[in-house]
A = this chain, B = another copy of it.
Amino acid sequence: MVKIAVDAMGGDNAPGEIVAGAVMAAQSREDIQIFLIGKEEVVSEELKKHTYKKEQIEVVNATEVIETEEPPVNAIRTKKDSSIVVGMNMVRRGEADAFCSAGSSGAILVGGQVIVGRIKGVERPPLAPLIPTEKGVSLLIDCGANVDARPSHLVQFAKMGSIYMEHVVGIKNPRVAIVNIGAEEEKGNALVKETFPLLKECKDINFIGSIEAREIPHGGADVIVSEAFVGNVILKLYEGVGATLISMVKQGMMTSLRSKIGALLVKPALKTTLKAFDASQYGGAPLLGLKGLVVKTHGNSKRIEVCNSILQCVTFKEQAINEKIKESL
Interface residue ranges, A against B (CB under 8 Å): 133-134, 147-148, 179, 181, 188-190, 192, 212-218, 228-230, 232-249, 251-253, 255-256, 258-259, 261-270, 272-274, 276-277
- Report B-chain residues with C-beta under 8 Å of the C-beta of A256: 268-269
- Some 19 contacts from A to B, beta carbons below 8 A apart, are A134-B244, A181-B232, A192-B229, A212-B236, A213-B234, A213-B235, A214-B237, A217-B244, A234-B237, A248-B276, A249-B274, A252-B270, A252-B273, A252-B274, A253-B270, A255-B272, A256-B268, A258-B268, A262-B265
- Report B-chain residues with C-beta under 8 Å of the C-beta of A214: 236-237, 239-240, 243
- Report B-chain residues with C-beta under 8 Å of the C-beta of A233: 179, 181, 213, 230, 233-234
Cα A230 to Cα B230 with chains together (Å): 6
Let me know if B229 and A133 touch, CB within 8 A. Answer: no
- Report B-chain residues with C-beta under 8 Å of the C-beta of A243: 214, 217
Given known A-B contacts A232-B181, A269-B252, A277-B245, A213 and B190 have beta carbons under 8 A apart: no
Cα A188 to Cα B233 with chains together (Å): 11
Residue from A218, A230, A244, A277 with most neighbouring chain B CB atoms (10 Å)? A244
Partner of A241, one of B241, B247, B251, B265: B241
- Report B-chain residues with C-beta under 8 Å of the C-beta of A240: 213-218
| A265 closest partner in B (C-beta) | B262
Min CB–CB distance A203 → chain B (angstroms): 28
Let me know if A237 and B236 touch, CB within 8 A. Answer: no
Given known A-B contacts A269-B252, A273-B249, A237 and B262 have beta carbons under 8 A apart: no
- Report B-chain residues with C-beta under 8 Å of the C-beta of A252: 266, 269-270, 272-274
Partner of A133, one of B216, B244, B264: B244
Given contacts A215-B240, A258-B268, 7 further A-B contacts (CB under 8 A): A213-B237, A217-B243, A230-B233, A234-B237, A237-B241, A249-B273, A259-B266
